[in-house]
């Protein structure tokens, strides 16, 4: 299919001099034509700032972005007709009807689709005469999507499109996205909902503090994470664990033993055999296989711990 979006060492920052804040830090990634790609991360991770460079809304401070082989800022006219955007908040005029709003938006497109067909596509056909201000939250997001689709985009940018929606509205919106993707539209989604990414995306990139920390398919990312075995344990009991388990374990002050393992079945067998031989009842025993949630929060913990270690070293250097 070929690469449709390519970022090479993209950096974007805000503010001058010492007050400069780096939102995106040397990010490189490629998105293939026809794929559903997710950018994940907490608020402030850099997702929206990176997406804005791909949309051609801003030029990166350093690095290069190519969309369909051209610079989306310098060749904005060529790129703009092929992309649709759903922003975090639409801000459409509340006094206009749904049909009037889409008709207005249609006038900005070079090859627009018929209003009626787009409204049917996003399940708003029966709301055409309703004022925007009277729509529910889910319906307003579908109208935002209609405005993005009326130009027949080849690439659809979705920036946290389901934030604030109730679970039913989110699921309905996901179904719309899946239908668009099945029609061949390349979709780039930013979200901090991990279940949303798992449901929709073929590949994802996990962002934190401006960097892409992990990327790949959901299966690849999850497979690289350890399973967790946990149970209540006293320090004296923990010290008698088999060596192979104790080397992988951590005992907290709350007397919770956590074993991180890539071979959960084998290590769980060893643990239960040890407990049986010693007549121990492993209270609150759990064995949890890796998930995207676990991968993400493990990543955040590693970054935070690394940052804390750097700050501690710097402080030590200043006081020595």
pLDDT tens-digit profile, the chain (320 residues) = 699 999 999 999 998 888 899 999 999 999 999 999 999 988 888 999 999 999 999 999 999 999 999 999 999 989 999 999 998 776 789 999 999 999 999 998 888 999 999 999 999 999 999 999 999 988 998 999 999 999 999 999 999 888 888 888 888 889 989 998 999 999 999 988 888 999 999 999 999 899 998 899 988 888 888 899 999 999 999 999 999 999 999 999 889 999 999 899 999 999 999 999 999 999 999 998 888 877 777 776 666 655 544 344 434 555 44
Domain spans, the chain: 3-222, 226-288
| CATH code assigned to 3-222 | 3.40.50.300
SS (H, E, C) the chain: CCEEEEEEEEEEEECCHHHCEEEEEEEEEEEECCCEEEEECCCCCCHHHHHHHHHCCCCCCEEEEEECCECCCCCHHHHHCCEEEECCCCCCCCCCEHHHHHHHHHCCCCCCCCHHHHHHHCCCHHHCCCEHHHCCHHHHHHHHHHHHHCCCCCEEEEECCCCCCCHHHHHHHHHHHHHHHHCCCEEEEEECCHHHHHHHCCEEEEEECCEEEEEEEHHHHHHCCCEEEEEECCHHHHCCCCHHHHCCEEECCCCEEEEEECCHHHHHHHHHHHHHHCCCCCCCCEEECCCHHHHHHHHHHHHHHHHHHHHHHHHHHHHC
- Name the pTM for this structure: 0.80
């Amino acid at each position: 299919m070929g690469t449709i979006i390519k970022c090479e060492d993209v950096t974007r920052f805000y503010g001058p001099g010492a007050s400069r804040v780096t939102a995106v830090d040397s990010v490189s990634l490629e998105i293939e034509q026809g794929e559903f790609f997710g950018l994940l991360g907490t608020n402030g991770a850099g997702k929206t700032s990176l997406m804005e460079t791909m949309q051609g809304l801003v030029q990166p401070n350093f690095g290069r972005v190519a969309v369909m082989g051209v610079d989306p800022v310098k060749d904005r006219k060529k790129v703009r007709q092929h992309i649709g955007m759903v922003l975090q908040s639409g801000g459409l005029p509340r006094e206009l009807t749904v049909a009037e709003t889409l008709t207005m938006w249609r006038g900005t497109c070079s090859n627009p689709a018929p209003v009626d067909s787009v409204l049917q596509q996003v399940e708003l056909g029966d709301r055409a005469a309703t004022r925007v201000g009277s729509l529910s939250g889910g319906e307003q997001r579908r109208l935002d999507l209609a405005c993005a689709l009326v130009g027949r985009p080849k690439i659809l940018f979705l920036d946290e499109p389901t934030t604030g929606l109730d679970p039913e509205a989110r699921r309905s919106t996901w179904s719309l996205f899946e239908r668009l993707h099945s029609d061949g539209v390349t979709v780039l989604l930013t979200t901090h909902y991990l279940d949303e990414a798992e449901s929709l995306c073929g590949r994802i990139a996990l962002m934190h503090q401006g960097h892409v920390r992990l990327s790949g398919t959901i299966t690849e990312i999850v497979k690289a994470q350890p399973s967790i075995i946990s149970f209540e344990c006293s320090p004296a009991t923990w010290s008698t664990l088999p060596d192979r388990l104790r080397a992988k374990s951590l005992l907290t002050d709350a007397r919770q033993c956590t074993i991180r393992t890539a071979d959960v079945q084998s290590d769980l067998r060893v643990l239960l055999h040890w407990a049986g031989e010693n007549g121990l009842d492993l209270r609150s025993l759990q064995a949890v296989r890796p998930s995207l949630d676990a991968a993400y929060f493990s990543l955040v913990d590693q970054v935070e711990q690394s940052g804390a270690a750097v700050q501690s070293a710097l402080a030590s250097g200043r006081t020595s």
